[in-house]
Structure 1
Amino acid sequence: MRERAAIHDRENTFPAEDLADLTAAGYLAILVPSELGGSGLSLAEASVLQQRLATAAPATALAINMHLVWTGVAKVLADRDIDTLRFVQEGSVAGEIFAFGISEAGNDLVLFGSDTDAAPQPDGGYAFTGTKIFTTLSPVWTQLGLHGLDTSNPDAPKMVYAFVPRSEEAAGRITIRDDWDTLGMRGTQSRTTELHGAIAPGDRVARILDPGPNPDPIVFGIFSVFEVLIASVYTGIARRALDVAVATAKVRTSKKTGKTYSQDPDIRWRIADMALAYDALPAQLQSLADDIDAQADHGALWFAKLAGLKHRAVTMAKAVVDDAVLVAGGSSYFTRSELSRLYRDVLAGLFHPSDPESAHATVASAWLGPVES
């Protein structure tokens, strides 16, 4: 996968062979209970695997992340005796690929609001009309998990979480733009998805909630699993950059001293600083993932802890990659360099929720209370 990653980045193509290998290995169902045909792994174990996968192919790891988010949400709900997303677990074992259709341009409410219209249907389903951005796995998903706002009762609008099948594309109710031409993470093929009355059947409606901040398990499940797995991918990128920097320092030779850069005190300090920053994150990931599985009670601090974890992971990863480029020297500036690709890939971490502004606002509110009106 590491060898293929450079090709998909250069050609701006989806890593179909990676997906085939992961599917054959049962990776799509790692978070599904063994009694349903999955691997029955914990969220912490899935985090470790995602970190490892990201060291080889960051875009592949980020792409499969979005499928794993939904299977992780299904696990969070099932652990709390809510069977709403059993079809996600069974579908993952059967080869279904679930995409994450939450992001919308300009919607900083994220899970607490939507510009997508969800119109109720006579059979209990919903017709969704709107535009979703950053729809990862666009070439291959079979089920799109999404949200929208039902305004049919203007006095009591409702947030609707549901799943739309790929067959809606053939019916002309879904249009996927071929618009993914980005700086990094090119293999994810996270294209824009237009919904034109796309139907989610009644048995694929997962949750109907009041808009705004909500402690409902599906909101907690989406936010917690998303933050942990996103942080895992970027922690894996940091680990790969650190490994590349170490390997490079051992072979680059200084004309001044005749010794390798691994003996240079400044380079040694820089690599030590990278390792010190990286080393904290795997332990934090395991601890918080274990708490999610164990249903630990962090009360009002839960969202602050999750947003903080993601923020620390992506800022750490960017700093580590920056230092790795300096250790490697000018060769890393060429696009043929793996570090050049990691440098571009790691930037995407800043755009995933929670972004720096949202993370700081969440943490400030948890410790100081809301801003006074």
Structure 2
Amino acid sequence: MTPEDVLPDSLLERIRGRAAGYDRNNTFFHEDLAELAAAGYLKLFVPASDGGMGFGLETAAQCQRRLATAAPATALAVNMHLVWTGVAHVLKSRGDSSLEFVLREAAEGEIFAFGNSEAGNDAVLFDSRTEAVPLPDGGYAFTGTKIFTSLSPAWTRLGIFGKDAEAGDGDGELVHGFITRETAGYRILDDWDTLGMRASQSATTVLEGVRVPAERIFRKLPVGPNPDPLIFAIFACFETLLAAVYTGLGERALAVGVETAKRRTSFKNGGRSYAQDPDIRWKVAEAAMAMDSLYPHLTTVAADVDAQADHGAQWFPKLVGLKVNATETARRVVDLAIRVSGGSSYFRGSELERLYRDVLAGMFHPSDDESAHNTVANAWLGPLEN
């Protein structure tokens, strides 16, 4: 199957038709999610033998790129489910079955969300401000606050992590596990009222001693950077699928800009189309060339993950570089499309106005611009000297 088979034009147009309403009303994309689930979209990484699509990261990324051309906020939220199922797929393909239950439960219709982000935690996956207290039965009680929890109204499984400060001879240990919707001890705040990506409903989740049983604890890692395959799999899926969403957003902005330039006419030039204006043509060409360099970048990185290419220490620079390239390119293309489209794009309700607000979210996703440049600089120049 291809992305066009999974997301036929008819489905894509229905999703596109609802996007403005979700954004305007700041509501979750319940209808989109129901249709995507019915189409098997939430099972992109689930093996075909279990009723899924059996896709790798390259094809899944192209599906997300296509979905984002219709509704970036829907695609961004769905990303979180696909990150976890993608992580399970990447680990399984490398001989690690520790998250195989994620694929099994996704095949049964469970929806996974990502509950790792914390305010003020620029260590991201290498430390946590959430407390993980060991329990006598081998489980853990987690207390802390998670932000940007996409799919808040709909998830049935939430991946979380926290720090057991007493473990590791006092150095601490990072504990990863899953809770279910029915688990007691957490609250979802009604605090998602943002500039863009509004339909994602990525509300704050407060963990108040929420208990994760031993069988749902799937990793314990030392604090700080480490080579565990889980860390690579999360970065690979998160950054690549994120890049796919913003690639699709940029692709749509370019298409809308082209349509508008052809439709607009110049009073000064006797009603000629703005598509004949040299300055407008230059801006469209600039946007198209930027996108043309992004498409192969996304494909190459995703394909290398699938092929288990050996990039050694360059893997993380490649992943964060793709994310920054995609989010910054999309932002530049949206800006050019607005300049091409004129003042009508400044009004609330225009698609470009919404895309402009949505694309700004890209700068906040990890790895942010500063962190990414630090990662790449360290890979090429070595760490800063003390």
> What TM-score does the superposition give when structure 1 sets the normalisation length?
0.98
CA distance in 1, matches of 2:94, 2:252: 36
Give the aligned residue type for 1:120: P
Quote how far apart the aligned CAs of 1:36 are: 2.5
State how 1:174-323 maps to structure 2 within 5 Å. Answer: 174-257=186-269, 258-323=271-336
1:82 aligned onto 2:96: yes
Q: Which residue number in structure 1 is paired with residue 357 of structure 2?
A: 344
Residue in 1 that maps onto 2:5 = none
Instruction: State yes or no: 1:7 paired with 2:21.
Output: yes
CA contact (8 A) 2:171 2:223 kept: no
- Name 2:177's counterpart in structure 1: 162
Q: Could you tell me which amino acid in structure 1 is paired with residue 312 of structure 2?
A: G
Give the residue type in structure 1 aligned to 2:364.
F
Rounded to whole Å, the distance in 2 between the matches of 1:261 and 1:190 is: 39
Q: CA–CA distance in 2 between the matches of 1:200 and 1:82?
A: 22
- C-alpha separation in 2, matches of 1:310 and 1:20: 28
Task: Identify the range of structure 1 (183-192 vs 280-289) with the bigger mean alpha-carbon deviation.
Answer: 280-289
Tell me if structure 2 keeps the 8 A contact 1:242–1:321. Answer: yes
Aligned mates of 1:98, 1:216 — CA distance in 2: 22
Partner Cα separation in structure 1 for residue 229 and residue 139 of structure 2: 21
CA contact (8 A) 1:100 1:145 kept: yes
- Rounded Cα–Cα distance in structure 1 between residues aligned with 2:136 and 2:48: 37
| Preserved contact between residue 165 and residue 200 of structure 1 (Cα < 8 Å) | no
Quote the Cα distance in structure 2 between the aligned partners of 1:181 and 1:9: 10
Q: Per the alignment, in what secondary structure is the counterpart of residue 105 of structure 1?
A: coil
Question: Alignment length, in residue pairs?
Answer: 370
Q: Pick from 331, 334, 338 the counterpart of residue 325 of structure 1.
A: 338
Shift in Å, 1:288: 0.7
* Number of the residue aligned with 2:7: none
Quick check: 287-296 or 342-351, which moved more?
287-296
Q: Structure 1: where are the runs of 5+ without partners?
A: none
Q: How far off its partner does 1:123 sit? A: 2.2
CA contact (8 A) 1:132 1:193 kept: yes
Q: Secondary structure of 2:170's partner?
A: coil
Question: Amino acid of the residue matched to residue 288 of structure 1?
Answer: V
Letter of the 1:241 partner, please give it. A
Q: Which secondary structure does the structure 1 equivalent of 2:69 belong to?
A: helix
Gaps of 5+ in 2: 1-14
| CA distance in structure 2 between the partners assigned to 1:203 and 1:275 by the alignment | 50
Using the TM superposition, give the Cα deviation of residue 122 of structure 1 relative to its aligned residue in structure 2, in angstroms.
2.2
Is the 2:112–2:157 Cα contact (8 Å) retained in structure 1?
yes
The one-letter amino acid paired with 1:104 is E
Mapped to 2, the partners of 1:102 and 1:149 lie a distance apart of 12
Asked if 2 retains the 8 angstrom alpha-carbon contact of 1:66 and 1:136, the reply is: yes
Report 1:20-99 matches (<5 A).
Answer: 20-99=34-113
The alignment partner of 2:365 has SS state of coil
Percent sequence identity over matched residues? Answer: 61
How far did residue 37 of structure 1 move? 2.2
CA offset at residue 185 of structure 1? 0.2
CA contact (8 A) 1:118 1:127 kept: yes
- Runs of 4+, deviation exceeding 6 Å: none
User: Partners of 2:315 and 2:50 in 1: how far apart?
Assistant: 29
* CA–CA separation in structure 2 for the residues paired with 1:105 and 1:174: 17
State whether residues 116 and 160 of structure 2, in contact with CA within 8 Å, keep that contact through their aligned partners in structure 1: yes
Secondary structure of the 1:250 match is helix
In the alignment, the residues of structure 2 paired with residue 288 and residue 268 of structure 1 have an alpha-carbon distance, to the nearest angstrom, of 31
Q: What is the DSSP-based 3-state SS (H/G/I as helix, E as strand, rest coil) of the residue aligned with 1:127? A: strand
Residue 120 of structure 2 corresponds to 106
| TM-score, length-scaled by structure 2 | 0.95
Residues 123-182 of structure 1, C-alpha deviation per residue, up to 9 Å, x if partnerless? 2221111000000000111111111111233524111111111112xx3x0011000000
